[in-house]
Structure 1
Amino acid sequence: MYVESKLQEYIVKIRCPQPECEVGLFELQRCRGILPKEVFDHWGDALCEAMILEDEKFHCPYKDCSTLMVNNGGELVKEFECPNCRRLFFAQCKVSWHDGIECDDVQKLNKDDKEKEDIMFMQLANINKWMRCPKCGIFVEKSHGCMYLKC
């Protein structure tokens, strides 16, 4: 239970809980016999993931997948198909497929606004040339007049 609780806190270098212990860090292989298989496997996966540099790893943005992927080629990965769920997404901005909308525009969205429906709304706004109020962020449609927006 101790190891499992540390893994839930995203700690992979697990110290012995006894202050006077001379062992220091637990070793994965030495704990194999006392850990449940799922905890052992989770710890092994977490140790492997911790070895990958942050800027080389990314996850599938779909909530029902979240598969870890590694870009060890050094090149900028933009469009990508998840090998697990086979859905397309933009690896650069780490959101689902948003054809017709620039990654910079998607990055400006709030974290909660990056769902499929929000991306579709952004595509509709681009097609109809709707603009956002610079103050409140609400979309407006210009029917006539100058380009000036006032909240």
Structure 2
Amino acid sequence: MSALQRKSTDKCQEVVSDLLRGSLTGLGDCSTMTTARYRPTWDLALDPLVSCKLCLGEYPVEQMTTIAQCQCVFCTLCLKQYVELLIKEGLETAISCPDAACPKQGHLQENEARAAGEVGFECSRVIECMVAAEIMQRYKKLQFEREVLLDPCRTWCPASTCQAVCQLQEMGLQTPQLVQCKACDTEFCSACKASWHPGQGCPETMPVTFLPGETSSSAFKLEGDDAPIKRCPRCKVHIERDEGCAQMMCKNCKHAFCWYCLESLDDDFLLIHYDKGPCRNKLGHSRASVIWHRTQVVGIFAGFGLLLLVASPFLLLATPFVLCCKCKCSKGDDDPLPT
């Protein structure tokens, strides 16, 4: 072996020895670097890499976050952006699993603790550590609003200047009852949220607007098409419309309805509602855009129908083979094992 080869071999052995001791010679003050801060290259190569379903990148386990309910794993950065987007948009208060094909449809809970050994968090709660303080405050506000909507014994004061939570009597939940807000003394009906109407039935559709500076007696003002704030016909949540299309969708219950007459548009894919009646030509779009929308909808349904028509002969031919395979498999399972 030549002198140059011996020198190179000795240098490699020295570097390996330094790496195993957790320090590198010739680095001066960095000689105290531990193996936890610096690991050999072959050690990093052996670390398992987990694929993120959102960005399709591969990261070490320490950079991933696991949802406890469904055990789906995503990189912490992608999950952080996903959680922030949902909270900012107010689409839902329960952070569902980002994987649309998740079999368990898990949710990221507010009190869910971070996994053991997970880095990048300074506290023990996943959502609280992911988002900023103001976003977390909005998340808790959305959660509280959702709890009030789902609680039959609580309701919101309909006055826009108040928005306090009022308690209902548990004995009379099945019938409309008088509710008086303790904060602003507004008296309203628990069923339709309109001003208290003893001896009268609740109107089915009531576009209501609330103006600043209203008193208890004038807290409710019925308007027509120009009402800036109305309630969803299904869940009674207040909705404000500044401008744009008259086809509205409630973020709370996903109910589609007409802004002017509050009629349901859930099954009106072609928007025929705006071709006749009092809402004729009030959609807010040009005639050309409406025709283009209807062409797209008809094209989608026609495409599915054509695909089904073309595939039906193949399905009929494949059905006997599938049934035969299933019969053979079931027969094989029923046969006793040889002794």
TM-score under structure 1 normalisation? 0.51
What is the CA distance between 1:114 and its match in structure 2? 6.7
Corresponding residue for residue 36 of structure 1: 132
Contact 1:79 1:90 in 2 (8 A): yes
Equivalent position amino acid for 1:40 in 2: M
Corresponding residue for residue 145 of structure 1: none
Partners of 1:112 and 1:48 lie apart in 2 by: 25
Partners of 1:81 and 1:11 lie apart in 2 by: 28
Q: Secondary structure at the match of 1:95?
A: coil
Counterparts in 2 of 1:117-132, with a 5 A limit? 118=221
Partners of 2:151 and 2:209 lie apart in 1 by: 22
Q: Secondary structure at the match of 1:79?
A: strand
1:51–1:59 distance in 2 versus 1, CA, 3 Å: closer
Deviations 1:83-117 (CA, angstroms, capped at 9, x unpaired): 3xx23222424124x5xx43635x22742257637
Q: 2:194 aligns with which of 82, 88, 95?
A: 95
Corresponding residue for residue 80 of structure 1: 180
Corresponding residue for residue 144 of structure 1: none
Q: Secondary structure at the match of 1:11?
A: coil
- Structure 1, unmatched stretches of 5+, are 120-151
Answering whether residue 82 of structure 2 is matched by residue 2 of structure 1, we say yes
Corresponding residue for residue 59 of structure 1: 156
Paired-residue identity, % = 16
Q: Which one has a larger percent helix, Structure 1 or Structure 2?
A: 2
- Structure 2, unmatched stretches of 5+, are 1-80, 111-124, 211-217, 223-339
Partners of 1:51 and 1:11 lie apart in 2 by: 12
1:103–1:48 distance in 2 versus 1, CA, 3 Å: farther
Answering whether residue 144 of structure 2 is matched by residue 45 of structure 1, we say no
1:109–1:15 distance in 2 versus 1, CA, 3 Å: closer
Equivalent position amino acid for 2:185 in 1: R
Contact 2:93 2:143 in 1 (8 A): yes
Partners of 1:70 and 1:89 lie apart in 2 by: 12
Contact 1:80 1:90 in 2 (8 A): yes
1:32–1:114 distance in 2 versus 1, CA, 3 Å: closer
Corresponding residue for residue 68 of structure 1: 165
Deviations 1:53-78 (CA, angstroms, capped at 9, x unpaired): 4422211111233223343x513351
Aligned residues: 111
CA RMSD across the alignment: 3.6
Contact 1:58 1:70 in 2 (8 A): yes
Larger Rg: 2
1:68–1:39 distance in 2 versus 1, CA, 3 Å: farther
Partners of 2:101 and 2:193 lie apart in 1 by: 45
Answering whether residue 203 of structure 2 is matched by residue 108 of structure 1, we say yes
TM-score under structure 2 normalisation? 0.27
Equivalent position amino acid for 1:94 in 2: K
Q: Which has the higher contact order (CA 8 A, sep 6+)?
A: 1
